Amino acid sequence: MKQIQQSILESDLLEKYLMGTTSEEETLRAEKYIEMYPLVRKAYDELQDNLEFYAKSHAVPVPDGLKGKILTQIKKGNRAGNRFTRFAMAASFAILVSAGASYFFWSQNKSLQEENTLVNAKIDNLQEEMREQLEDVRNQFIVLQNPETKKYKVTGNTKAQELKAVAYVNPVKKLSYLNVSNLPNLPKNQCYQMWAEVNGEMLNLGIIKEADQKLLALPYSDNAVGYITIEPEGGNDSPTVENIVANIAY
C-alpha cells in the first residue's frame, strides 16, 4: 500500500486537482485516493496550506480599474442584447411599411451583433490572461515545493559584479525559473536583457527591469543555457555577445 501511495505522491495528480486542471477521470481518481489513503490525504492538506500561503505572499495587485472594466463590458453586452431584440421587432414591423426601412433596421442589428462579438472577445481575452497567470503561479509553486528542484547560483562577471540571481530547475516536471535578486544600476540608455539557447535556437526572453523581484519563467530543455546581456534601451533582436554579463547553465 505504501508503494501505491508513494507512486501517487510522485505524480502531479494532486497539484493538478488542487489547481482545477484535471480531467473528469483524473478528478474522480484524485478524490478516491484522497479518501482511501491517509498519506495522500495528508499530502493534499499540506499542499492546500502551502498554496494558500504562497498565493498570499506572492499576490499581485489587480490592475487599477480592471473590475470596473469587466463590469462595464458585461453591461454593454447586456445593453447590446436588449437593443438587438427591440430593433429586431421594429424591423419586422417595418417590412410591412417599406423595404427601405427594413434595410435600415437590418443594418442596425448587424452593427449591434458586431459590437456584442467585440465585447465577448475582450472578456475572453481577460479570462485567458487570468488563466495563464494562474498556470504560472501553479508552476512556480510546484518548482519551489518539489524536492527534485535544483538550485543554481548566478553571479555577474566584471561588467556586473553585483548581479545576483538563483535558477530553479526541475528536470522531473520540466520547469525552469530564474529569480533575480540584485541588478547593478545602468545608464538610462542601457538595459539588461534575458536570453536562452534551446536546441541551438536563441530565444529572446525580454528585458529585466531593476524593479523585477519575481520568478522569471525559462524555457526548459536538456543542457539549455541562459544569458543576461547589457543592451541599448528598449532591447535588441539578438544578443550583444561582448556584453554578456552572466551565463546560466541549466
pTM confidence score? 0.50
| CATH number among 3.30.420, 2.60.40, 1.10.150, 2.30.29, domain 150-249 | 2.60.40
Q: Spell out the residues 6+ positions from residue 33 whose beta carbon is closer than 8 angstroms to its own.
A: 8, 13, 40
What distances in angstroms separate CA 158 from CA 123, 164, 194, 250, one per listed residue? Answer: 48, 13, 18, 22
Q: What is the pLDDT of residue 194?
A: 92
**pLDDT for residue 230:** 95
pLDDT of 212? 59
pLDDT attached to residue 235 = 92
Q: Which residues contact 112 (CB under 8 A, 6 or more apart)?
A: 80, 83, 84, 87
For position 195, what pLDDT does the model report?
A: 93
CA–CA gap between residue 62 and residue 66 (Å, rounded): 7
pLDDT beneath 50, residues of the chain: 74, 78-106
What phi and psi, each to the nearest 5 degrees, are found at residue 102? -60, -45
Cα separation, 15 vs 209, whole angstroms: 31
Domain ranges of the chain: 2-57, 66-144, 150-249
For the chain, the 3-state helix, strand and coil shares in percent, each to the nearest 5, are 50, 20, 25
